[in-house]
Structure 1
C-alpha cells in the first residue's frame, strides 16, 4: 500500500511498502541518485543499453550541463547506504523492475513531469569525476587502490622529513597554532631547568626567571635585580652564549636516594606486622625495650591500646613504661600496671583521663621504686590524692610532670616541694590555677636542673615572681622553659637569666611577645658566664629584629644544634646569613621568615654537615632551585611534593 504526501501543494506517491523501502523513498524525494547501482539478478537483468539510448544521452547532457548532476555528485556514503539495501528491496517489492539506470522509479519521473522540483542536498563538496560506464569506474577504483598501496609501502621504507609533503599536516599545525604538534614533542628540545635561575625583583618583590645567557637589570638604588616589568624597555640583554651541555639536576637523585635510605628494615616490618595484628598476639616473648616502645607507638596511633592489649606490655621485670594514649584503658586496667609491674621506676601516661583517686592511691602503695611520674590530662584526681601520693613517695621522687589538670592547687604544689626536695625535673603545663603563689614553694627546690612552666592563665604569672624564682634556682638549671607567658618583660632576661643561669643549655622563650630587641641583645652579647646554648626557641617573638638574632647566633654558634625562629618576620636576609656560622646545627625551623631564600639555604647547607631537617612553611622566596643534599629534608617549600612518611 502506497502513501501520499504533500509538498508545495502537489501530491506525490511515497510508495513506502516495507521497513527496507523507507530509506529508498527518502532518497528519491530528495533527488539523490545512485551512481553505481548493484547488478540485477541474471534472470531479471536488462539488456545493456546502446550508446544511442535516451538514458545515456540524458546522462551525458547532465554531465555537460550545469546543475542537474545525477550520477556524478552522489557521495560514497550515499552509495554505501543504498547499495546494501537494494537486494532486499528488489526481492520484496515488484517496483524493482521499474528502476532505471539512475535508480529512479517511473512514478517519480511522472511527478517530475508534473512540475515538482526536488531540491538536492549538498552532501559532499569534493568534486567527483564523471564516468560513462561502470567498467571505467571499476578500473579507476582498482588503479587508485593499487596506487595507495604503493604510496603506503614507499612511506614505510623512506623516513619522513621536515620538507616532505607527507608532513605538511604537522607543519601546518605548528605554523598556525604557534606551538609544535604533540607528535614532534620531545624532552630533549626543552631548556634544561638547571640553566635558569629564579630571582625576586627588588622593587615589586615579584618572582621572575633569569634565563641562561642573559643578565637582568640591576637597580641603582639598592643594587638588587629588577624584573622585566620594572626594568622597562631599557633592560640590557647579553647576547646568548653557546648552549652548554645540560646539567642534570641532582635534586631528583637526592630525593630518590632519600627514599631508598628510608626503606624499612626487616625488624621494622616485623614490628608493623605485629602492631597491625595486635589483637591476635598472645605475647611478645623476649624482645628489647626499644622494639616494645615502637609497637606501643604504632598501636597508640591507631587507637588500639585498651585494657586487653595493655597486658602485652606489662612484665614483672619492667622498669620503664610509656603509654602514649590511655583513652581506651579503664581505671582497672591502669591499676593493673602497678599490680603486674611493681618494679617500675619511670611511668609516663598520656591522655590518661580515666585515672582517678583510687588508682593514684594504689600507685603510692605498690610502686615502691617509682622515681619519675608523668601524667597528661588527669582530670579526675583531686587535691587530697596528690598530697597523699607526694607524702608516700617522699624524697625518692626526682621527676614530676603534670599537664592539663584543673584540680592541682597551691596546697598540692606546697606538698610536692616540701615532701620531695630532691626533684631535678619539674614541668607544670596548662594548669588553670597557677599564679605567682605557686612560684614561691618551687624556689625551695635547689636541686632543679630542668624547669618548665607552660601556658598559665593570662596575667596570673608576673615578671617579678619569675625573676625571684630564677634567682633562687637558676644556678643549677640546664633547661629553662617559659612558654606562653606573654606578660614577661626584659628584667627576666637581664636580672635573672644572664647573671644566674651559667649552666643553661636549653632556652625556650616561645610566645614571650613583650621581650624587646634590646633586651635579647643585651642577654647574649658578651655573656661570658655561659659557654653556649644547644637549643634556642624564639618562636612567636615577632618584635625581635636583626640585632637580637645576630647576638644570639654569635654567642652560641659553636654549640647550637636546634633553632626555632618561626614567625620572626622582622628578620632580614643579612641577619639570616649569620646562620652560616652554625656548623653543628641539625634542626632549623624558619617558617614565616620572609627573608629566607635560596642563597641563605645554600650557605647553610655547605656549612652545616649535620643539618637533617629544615622547616620553611610560608617562605615564598625559597624556591625549588635551592640546593639540597642526601639526608636533608626541607619541609614546606613551595612546589615540592611532601611525603608524610618523611615528616
Structure 2
C-alpha cells in the first residue's frame, strides 16, 4: 500500500529502509519482474453528463458518431495500475487520457491512484485534489543508462516546464544520481522517524557516547555515599581528613580544593578494568559434543569408547537437567568401570540402583547423591556382589536401616577406607560401633546432618587412629560439646590432613588452642565455618608462633562473626605463602587495614570475601597485583566495590553490583 510523506511524494513500492547495491543496479538497468495482475479498483463516481445538443439538420447524431468510432484496442489503457514506468518514476504522479502504445517494452502510461491509505489526514486529501487538477500526461522511455521523459500534453506552459526539467535531468548524468535526488527512502522520511524513532546508521557516531574512562566513582569521607566525579570537575575536599566530599556534604557554598586539578577528558577507549569480568569463554569442540549428547540423552543407545572424564561431564549435565532416570542410567554402567558417580538419583528406582552392582561388579568407589529411593534390599545386594568396594558415599539415603548398614560393614571389612554419609535419620550409634570395629583402616570419615549424632559417637571415632580426613558437619545444637571434640582431636589429630567442624555452633576457643594447635601437626585444610563462639583471641592464639605446623593451604573462617583484624593478620602471617583458598565470608568486623594484609597470600587462587563491607577498589587492586594466580573472587554484598575496580584477563569477580552474572560458569 502506498503512502505519502510531507513533500507529497508517493511511495509505489512497499520497501522501507536503505536500498541495496543489487536493487540499485536492477533499477538502473530497468530490470523488473513481470507485472502482477492489477488489483480491482473501486468504481469511479459518476460524472454529470453535459446537456445533449439539439440535432441539427445535415449533421450526424451522437449515436452515429459513437458507432463510427473504432473500438479501443489492447494497446490503449483505460484502467490505472502500477506498472514498470510507475516504479521507475519512484513517486511521480502521472496521468494520461489518450495516448498511442509505444513499440518499446519499457514505454507505458500511468495514472494517479485515487485510493490512498486509511490513515491519511484531510490535508493529504486536499493535496491530492490539487495535484489531480495539475496532472501532466507524460510518456517515459527507458534506456540502458538514461531515462527520457517526453510531454504529450497540449498545454504549453505545463509542457515547457516539464520538458525543461526532463532535459535538465538528462544533462545532469545517469539516472542513478537523478533518482537519488528525486526519490526518498525511509531514512529521510521525517514522519516515519517521528513515529518509530528510527535513526539511520549514518547518523550513529561513537562521539556521542560518554567517555568511559573519564568519570570516576569515589566515596564521601563523611557519609560514605557513592558519587561520581565527572571529567574536568574538581570535587570538594574535607578539611579534617583531606578526603573527598559528595555534593550533599560539601554544600552549595563549599569552595573547590586547589590541590585537585581538573584533568582533561581522555579519549574514550576500552579498558580492561571497566569490562565485566564474567567471561564466557569459547567452548571446545569436545565440550560442544558433550553438550549435544546430554541434550539428546533420550535418543542415545550407547556411548561407545569414551573417556571417564567425558562420561562424568555428561552425567553432571543430565543430572542438572533432571534427565537421569532408570533408563538413562544404563548408559553409564560398564563392567570395566571401577569408579562411578551419579549426581542425582531422584528418578532412579530401586531396581535401577540394583543394576549398578549387577553390571559393574569391579567397582571400588561408588558415590550416589540424592539417593532417597535406595532401600535395604539394594544395600544387601551391594554387600554380596561388590567384592572390591572400598569407598562408599551416600547422600540422602532416608530408607536404609541399621541392619543393612551392619551387613555392609561386615562384608567390606578391613578393605573399607572411605565412608561418607549425609542427611540420614536412621543411622544410629549401633551402626557406627560396627563400622569402627569392622573397618579399622578407615582414612576418610565424613558425617553430616545426622539427627542422632551425640558425644558418644565421638568416643567411638577416636578409635580410628588412621584417619587422614575427618568431617563432622551440622550436628544438632547442644549434642556436641567442646570437651568431647577436644578429646577426639587429641586422639586422631596427629595424622589428620583435613579437619572440618562446620556448623558446630557450640564449640569454644579451647578447641583451637587445646585440641588443634598441639595435635594437628600435619594439618593442611581447616574448616571451622559457622563456629560462632570462636573469638579473635582464640584464632590469634592458634596461628601465632605455630611452629609445629608448617602452613595451611585451605582455611574457611566463614560466618565466624566475632573475628576482627587481628585474627586475619595472624592467619596471613602463618600461612600467607602457601594459602590457596581463603574464605572470610560474613566477617563484618574486618576493616580495610585488615583486608590489606591478604597481599601476603601470593599463591592465592580462590577468595570468598562476601559481606565484608570494607572491601573496596583499593584492596582489590593491591590483591590483584600481589596474587598473580588469583582467578576467582566472591564479593556478594560488598557495596564499596565498584565496576571500576582493577582486574585482569581470566579472573572472575562474582557478585559485584552492576555486573552480568552467567550462572552456567560459576
Same fold (TM over 0.5): yes
Q: What is the CA–CA distance in structure 2 between the aligned matches of 1:466 and 1:371, rounded to whole Å?
A: 27
Say whether the 8 Å CA contact 1:20–1:85 is kept in structure 2.
no
Partner of 1:495: 514
Q: What is the CA–CA distance in structure 2 between the aligned matches of 1:361 and 1:76, rounded to whole Å?
A: 91
The C-alpha deviation readout for 1:46-84, integer Å capped at 9, x for no partner, is xxxxxxxxxxxxxxxxxxxxxxxxxxxxx9768558779
Say whether the 8 Å CA contact 2:277–2:653 is kept in structure 1.
no
Unaligned runs of 5+ in 1: 1-18, 22-37, 45-74, 87-134, 158-168, 170-181
Give 1:566 shift. Answer: 1.0
Q: State which of 358, 369, 379 in structure 2 corresponds to 1:339.
A: 358
Q: State which of 318, 323, 326 in structure 1 corresponds to 2:345.
A: 326
Cα separation, partners in 2 of 1:525 and 1:42, compared to 1, 3 Å: farther
Aligned to 1:584, the other structure's residue is in SS state coil
Give 1:583 shift. Answer: 0.9
Match runs of 1:458-537 below 5 Å: 458-537=477-556
Q: State which of 226, 243, 253 in structure 2 corresponds to 1:207.
A: 226
Say whether the 8 Å CA contact 1:254–1:630 is kept in structure 2.
no
Say whether the 8 Å CA contact 1:561–1:584 is kept in structure 2.
yes
Q: What is the CA–CA distance in structure 1 between the aligned matches of 2:471 and 2:440, rounded to whole Å?
A: 17
Q: What is the CA–CA distance in structure 1 between the aligned matches of 2:127 and 2:237, rounded to whole Å?
A: 72
The C-alpha deviation readout for 1:177-208, integer Å capped at 9, x for no partner, is xxxxx998743254422122211112111101
Unaligned runs of 5+ in 2: 1-43, 54-121, 134-154, 179-189, 191-200
Aligned to 1:193, the other structure's residue is in SS state coil
Say whether the 8 Å CA contact 1:347–1:374 is kept in structure 2.
yes
Match runs of 1:565-576 below 5 Å: 565-576=584-595
Say whether the 8 Å CA contact 1:357–1:381 is kept in structure 2.
yes
Higher Cα Rg: structure 1 or 2? Answer: 1
Match runs of 1:408-487 below 5 Å: 408-487=427-506
Aligned to 1:234, the other structure's residue is in SS state coil
Say whether the 8 Å CA contact 1:449–1:479 is kept in structure 2.
yes
Give 1:326 shift. Answer: 1.0
Partner of 1:353: 372
State yes or no: 1:616 paired with 2:635: yes
Cα separation, partners in 2 of 1:535 and 1:278, compared to 1, 3 Å: same
The C-alpha deviation readout for 1:345-376, integer Å capped at 9, x for no partner, is 10111111111111111111111111100011
Give 1:431 shift. Answer: 0.3
Partner of 1:556: 575
Aligned to 2:501, the other structure's residue is in SS state strand
Q: What is the CA–CA distance in structure 2 between the aligned matches of 1:246 and 1:84, rounded to whole Å?
A: 53
Cα separation, partners in 2 of 1:83 and 1:568, compared to 1, 3 Å: same
The C-alpha deviation readout for 1:231-264, integer Å capped at 9, x for no partner, is 23223265544444444312577869x43xx222
Partner of 2:271: 249
Q: What is the CA–CA distance in structure 1 between the aligned matches of 2:427 and 2:663, rounded to whole Å?
A: 38
Partner of 1:234: 255
Q: What is the CA–CA distance in structure 1 between the aligned matches of 2:567 and 2:286, rounded to whole Å?
A: 47
Higher relative contact order (CA 8 A, sep 6+): 2
Aligned to 1:348, the other structure's residue is in SS state strand
Match runs of 1:91-490 below 5 Å: 186-232=205-251, 233-236=254-257, 238=260, 240-251=262-273, 258-259=279-280, 262-490=281-509
Q: What is the CA–CA distance in structure 2 between the aligned matches of 1:389 and 1:511, rounded to whole Å?
A: 33
Q: What is the CA–CA distance in structure 1 between the aligned matches of 2:642 and 2:264, rounded to whole Å?
A: 27
Aligned to 1:614, the other structure's residue is in SS state strand
Give 1:396 shift. Answer: 0.7
Partner of 2:650: 631
What's the TM-score once normalised by structure 1's chain length? Answer: 0.72
The C-alpha deviation readout for 1:311-359, integer Å capped at 9, x for no partner, is 2211222111111111111111111111111111101111111111111
Q: What is the CA–CA distance in structure 2 between the aligned matches of 1:246 and 1:309, rounded to whole Å?
A: 54
Aligned to 2:271, the other structure's residue is in SS state coil
Q: What is the CA–CA distance in structure 2 between the aligned matches of 1:615 and 1:563, rounded to whole Å?
A: 11
Say whether the 8 Å CA contact 1:594–1:618 is kept in structure 2.
yes
Q: What is the CA–CA distance in structure 1 between the aligned matches of 2:448 and 2:547, rounded to whole Å?
A: 32
Q: What is the CA–CA distance in structure 1 between the aligned matches of 2:340 and 2:317, rounded to whole Å?
A: 15
Aligned to 2:615, the other structure's residue is in SS state coil
Say whether the 8 Å CA contact 1:198–1:623 is kept in structure 2.
yes
Give 1:438 shift. Answer: 0.6
Aligned to 2:488, the other structure's residue is in SS state helix
Cα separation, partners in 2 of 1:356 and 1:79, compared to 1, 3 Å: closer
Say whether the 8 Å CA contact 2:237–2:245 is kept in structure 1.
yes
Say whether the 8 Å CA contact 1:254–1:629 is kept in structure 2.
no
Aligned residues: 509
Give 1:403 shift. Answer: 0.5
Partner of 2:118: none
